[in-house]
Structure 1
Amino acid sequence: MQTRLAEPLATTPRGEEAEAILRQCTHCGFCLPACPTYRLLGDERDSPRGRIYQVKQVLEGAPATPELGRHLDRCLTCRACESACPVGVPYHRLADLGREIVAEQAPPPAPARWLRWGLRQVLPRRRLFATLLGLGRLARPLLPGTLAAKVPPREAAQPWPRAQGGRRRVAVMTGCVQPALAPGLDPRLATLLDGLGIDAVPLAGCCGAVDQHLGAPEVARRRLRRLVDLCRPALEAGTEAILVSASGCGAQLKEVGVLLAEDPDYAQQAARVAAKVRDPLELLEDERSRLAPAPDAPRRLAFQSPCSLQHGQRLGGRVEALLGALGFELTPVADAGLCCGSAGTYSLLQPELATRLRDDKLRHLQAGDPEWVVTANIGCQTHLAAASPLPVRHWLELLAVKP
């Protein structure tokens, strides 16, 4: 695609990246059927190709408009288009740049701005989020049904196994909202690793994804710098990997080297951190001969592969293969590559579209009559569980170490 970026953007690192992305796009349209919003709305402005063209116009000097903002807001950043693209256009980077420009030139009305600001203040602050979630649980009986469904029931916390020393060592990034929504998950992962002879040390950092996707990239970079500082001592102590059990956070952290590439003080260390980030799957695949189904785990499952796992981290099909090798029966899921509608804050900012996507996803997940629905991302888990008649759990809860 030919481009002629306007000054002064054209000579900036941001502009150079945008121009490179635009030149990759051949406008072929293979992305359209992979796009959830295009399939729902049938409007090419709500497709990757349409959004790329609209952002291109702005980069070439046209003013950003609230209409462009609406079309970008409807994008889930699921990155299914990137998996479908024959030349691998990194669409999500251009979409983030478009959101940033719209936030500067054509911000949404005040209520929408305040909602986004509130989400950016609450979600990355784990103690504040946990406090507000606790208040929501207390008030749950008084809330309307649709709102009450978004407040998950309390789960019991689990103890973290004590590191023994002298063994393999990994860090587990516990994130912002997961410790409050699923406080037993990362300790359970640490216990599983302990049984495999691996010490797991918790790290409490924020990946900056909420700010990144809500048009505040500089705030996201500040959070990522703090995270790099947090990881540096762990890596210097011989930590072999940084595990992230929430695939959405994992996808963001694997790009920390790209997101801080222009920072002379952090670029090298950020690249080092990114090279160490792993989904737990990538470690557990090598230990499959020592794994077994947990005693209380059902055997017939439907796996919901989060977009951040299959399209962001390009690990699609590998959880299913590992579970199948351990003796689980995976029921078929139609349109498995499409988003469930969670997408970080999307289900709060675009509830109508998110609900339609969730209902479609649950229908496909239940079609094979599984006992559980399992996933790999806390956002998907919470979003689906709010309307699912079946238990929705993280796939790591299915595993145990052979005695």
Structure 2
Amino acid sequence: MQTHFSEEDLKKPHIREADRVLRSCVHCGFCNATCPTYQLLGDERDGPRGRIYLMKEMLESRDDDDQVTEETRLHLDRCLTCRNCETTCPSGVEYHTLLDIGRAEIERRVPRKASDRALRYGLRKALVEPKRFQALLKLGQTFKPLVPGALRDKMPPAPVDAGVRPEGKRHARQMLILEGCVQPGLSPNTNAATARVLDRLGIGITPVPEAGCCGAIDFHLNAQEEGRARARANIDAWWPHIDKHGEAGIEAIIQTASGCGAFIKEYADILADDPHYAAKAARVSELALDLVEILRDEPLDNLTLKESRTLAFQCPCTLQHAQKLGGAVEEVLSRLGFSLTPVSDSHLCCGSAGTYSITQPALSTQLRDNKLDALEAGHPDVIVTANIGCQTHLAGANRTPVRHWIEIVDEAISTQESPLATHNA
């Protein structure tokens, strides 16, 4: 795609980056074929190609150009950032990079209404601090009939007890795990189940309570500097366990929420221009692994199932399109002996997309119901997924039970301790 930036414009880092991405696009339109919002709305401006044109025109225009309006922002807001288009694109266009630039630019040029700003600020403050979120969640669950309808539908019941987490220090192999911001309140058993399964494989989890929200919520709600600040804080929390001054450090930083995992793997990019953190961020991104990347390389024959339910796996966009791990969880579950039902249009987004289900409720609900129809077509006992946002969003329909896949694995494994765990204790 031809661009028309001046030499003065190209001195700005974000314009140089946008120019690079734009020039890789050949405007073929293949991306529209797999874009969830384009399929629902049929508007070119609600597909990746149309949004690319909107961002190009905005970035090339002057600040006082009256063609850049709230309508421009509406079409950018409707994007799920599912990155399905990147999987489809034959030219390797880094659409999400351009979208981050475009959203920051439209935010600067066309300020939001006070009510919209208040909603986004409230979401950021309510979701990113685990203790605050858990307190608000407990309050909402206690007084659920008084919660406004839109939020009441998203209010899950109180989670079951997470059970006992094994003491990780008894193993020679050590990894870190991101506890997350909303997952400890919504599904505390996810990381506890992860610790139990890894314990059976001779892997311990080193706790790092100082690490908090990955920063994705802030970053994708156009508070990008706040998102970078959270990334730096996590790097500071993890770094003593990574840089052991000659000793063997941790093997990996595990994420059980694929949305967090996708963002942490981008720490190297979002902090590339920070002279104090660029090298550390690159190392953290290198160590960041989704849980399935750990388990698929382990001797799963040492894990014996005592039961096997029929599952339908919902592969989050952040797992299949951002991390390029489509099929990985299904392979692990099949190796363990679970029966998986086929899922049509498995590449399409469920509509959760971080805070999208709150900021774009009508589109999100339509996408969720379409996804559930596809997942339930094979009559599974349970729907499993790999991201807390997808899990909560799909479960909110009160149809088939929705769990994190590692919880089902943990429940199905024999209570007999693995010889590997005993050997490495």
Correspondent of 2:379 among 349, 369, 383: 369
Task: Quote how far apart the aligned CAs of 1:115 are.
Answer: 0.3
- The aligned counterpart of 1:176 is 181
- What are the within-5 Å matches in structure 2 for residues 123-134 of structure 1? 123-134=127-138
How far apart, CA to CA, are the structure 2 residues paired with 1:330 and 1:251? 25
- Would the aligned equivalents of 1:136 and 1:151 in 2 still touch at CA under 8 Å? yes
How far apart, CA to CA, are the structure 1 residues paired with 2:299 and 2:404? 18
Task: Quote how far apart the aligned CAs of 1:223 are.
Answer: 0.9
Greater mean deviation of Cα atoms: 298-307 or 9-18: 9-18
- The aligned counterpart of 2:3 is 3
- Would the aligned equivalents of 1:171 and 1:242 in 2 still touch at CA under 8 Å? yes
**Residue 305 (structure 1) aligned with residue 315 (structure 2):** yes
- Per-residue CA distance 1:87-128 (angstroms, 9 max, x = gap): 111101111111111111102211111101111112111111
- The aligned counterpart of 2:60 is 60
- What are the within-5 Å matches in structure 2 for residues 165-204 of structure 1? 165=170, 167-203=172-208, 204=211
Q: What is the TM-score with the length of structure 2 in the denominator?
A: 0.91
Task: Quote how far apart the aligned CAs of 1:212 are.
Answer: 1.2
Residue 163 of structure 1 aligns with an amino acid whose one-letter code is G
Greater mean deviation of Cα atoms: 202-211 or 29-38: 202-211
- The aligned counterpart of 2:162 is 157
How far apart, CA to CA, are the structure 2 residues paired with 1:239 and 1:142? 46
Task: Quote how far apart the aligned CAs of 1:158 are.
Answer: 2.9
Task: Quote how far apart the aligned CAs of 1:294 are.
Answer: 5.0
- Per-residue CA distance 1:136-175 (angstroms, 9 max, x = gap): 0011134466532211111123332212345100001111
Q: 3-state DSSP class of the match of 1:290?
A: helix
Greater mean deviation of Cα atoms: 67-76 or 207-216: 207-216
How far apart, CA to CA, are the structure 2 residues paired with 1:103 and 1:301? 42
- The aligned counterpart of 1:70 is 74
Residue 254 of structure 1 aligns with an amino acid whose one-letter code is K
Task: Quote how far apart the aligned CAs of 1:236 are.
Answer: 2.0
How far apart, CA to CA, are the structure 2 residues paired with 1:179 and 1:136? 16
- Would the aligned equivalents of 1:332 and 1:368 in 2 still touch at CA under 8 Å? yes
Regions of 4+ moved over 3 Å:
6-9, 141-147, 290-295, 400-403
- Per-residue CA distance 1:161-206 (angstroms, 9 max, x = gap): 2123451000011111100001111011111111111111233322
Equivalent residue pairs, number: 402
How far apart, CA to CA, are the structure 2 residues paired with 1:15 and 1:144? 42
- Would the aligned equivalents of 2:83 and 2:95 in 1 still touch at CA under 8 Å? yes
Correspondent of 2:287 among 247, 251, 276: 276
Residue 183 of structure 1 aligns with an amino acid whose one-letter code is P
- What are the within-5 Å matches in structure 2 for residues 177-256 of structure 1? 177-203=182-208, 204-237=211-244, 238-256=249-267
Q: Percent identity?
A: 51
Task: Quote how far apart the aligned CAs of 1:325 are.
Answer: 1.7
Q: What is the TM-score with the length of structure 1 in the denominator?
A: 0.96
How far apart, CA to CA, are the structure 1 residues paired with 2:291 and 2:204? 14
How far apart, CA to CA, are the structure 2 residues paired with 1:257 and 1:220? 13
Q: 3-state DSSP class of the match of 1:107?
A: coil
How far apart, CA to CA, are the structure 2 residues paired with 1:291 and 1:210? 38
- Would the aligned equivalents of 2:349 and 2:367 in 1 still touch at CA under 8 Å? yes
- Per-residue CA distance 1:248-286 (angstroms, 9 max, x = gap): 000000010011000011000000000000001011001
- Would the aligned equivalents of 1:6 and 1:61 in 2 still touch at CA under 8 Å? no
- Per-residue CA distance 1:284-329 (angstroms, 9 max, x = gap): 001243354654x652111000000000100001111111122111
- The aligned counterpart of 1:121 is 125
How far apart, CA to CA, are the structure 2 residues paired with 1:10 and 1:239? 41
Correspondent of 2:360 among 350, 363, 371: 350
- What are the within-5 Å matches in structure 2 for residues 280-291 of structure 1? 280-291=291-302
Q: 3-state DSSP class of the match of 1:71?
A: helix
- The aligned counterpart of 1:81 is 85
How far apart, CA to CA, are the structure 1 residues paired with 2:48 and 2:373? 26
Task: Quote how far apart the aligned CAs of 1:218 are.
Answer: 1.1
- The aligned counterpart of 1:265 is 276
Greater mean deviation of Cα atoms: 203-212 or 145-154: 145-154
- Would the aligned equivalents of 2:308 and 2:339 in 1 still touch at CA under 8 Å? no
- What are the within-5 Å matches in structure 2 for residues 10-29 of structure 1? 10-29=10-29
Seen in structure 2, the aligned counterparts of structure 1 residues 145 and 28 have a Cα distance that, compared at 3 Å, is same
- Per-residue CA distance 1:364-402 (angstroms, 9 max, x = gap): 110111110000000000000010421100011122456
- Would the aligned equivalents of 1:169 and 1:198 in 2 still touch at CA under 8 Å? yes
How far apart, CA to CA, are the structure 2 residues paired with 1:288 and 1:141? 48
Greater mean deviation of Cα atoms: 112-121 or 194-203: 194-203
Greater mean deviation of Cα atoms: 7-16 or 41-50: 7-16
Correspondent of 1:340 among 350, 358, 363: 350
How far apart, CA to CA, are the structure 2 residues paired with 1:107 and 1:399? 47
Residue 226 of structure 1 aligns with an amino acid whose one-letter code is A
Task: Quote how far apart the aligned CAs of 1:6 are.
Answer: 5.0
- The aligned counterpart of 2:423 is none
Q: 3-state DSSP class of the match of 2:236?
A: helix
- The aligned counterpart of 1:139 is 143
Q: 3-state DSSP class of the match of 1:227?
A: helix
Q: CA RMSD in A?
A: 1.6
- The aligned counterpart of 1:95 is 99
Greater mean deviation of Cα atoms: 340-349 or 213-222: 213-222
Task: Quote how far apart the aligned CAs of 1:60 are.
Answer: 0.6
Residue 32 of structure 1 aligns with an amino acid whose one-letter code is N
How far apart, CA to CA, are the structure 1 residues paired with 2:207 and 2:171? 17
- Would the aligned equivalents of 1:158 and 1:183 in 2 still touch at CA under 8 Å? no
Seen in structure 2, the aligned counterparts of structure 1 residues 347 and 246 have a Cα distance that, compared at 3 Å, is same
How far apart, CA to CA, are the structure 1 residues paired with 2:152 and 2:180? 24
How far apart, CA to CA, are the structure 1 residues paired with 2:51 and 2:305? 45
Q: 3-state DSSP class of the match of 2:311?
A: strand
How far apart, CA to CA, are the structure 1 residues paired with 2:112 and 2:327? 39
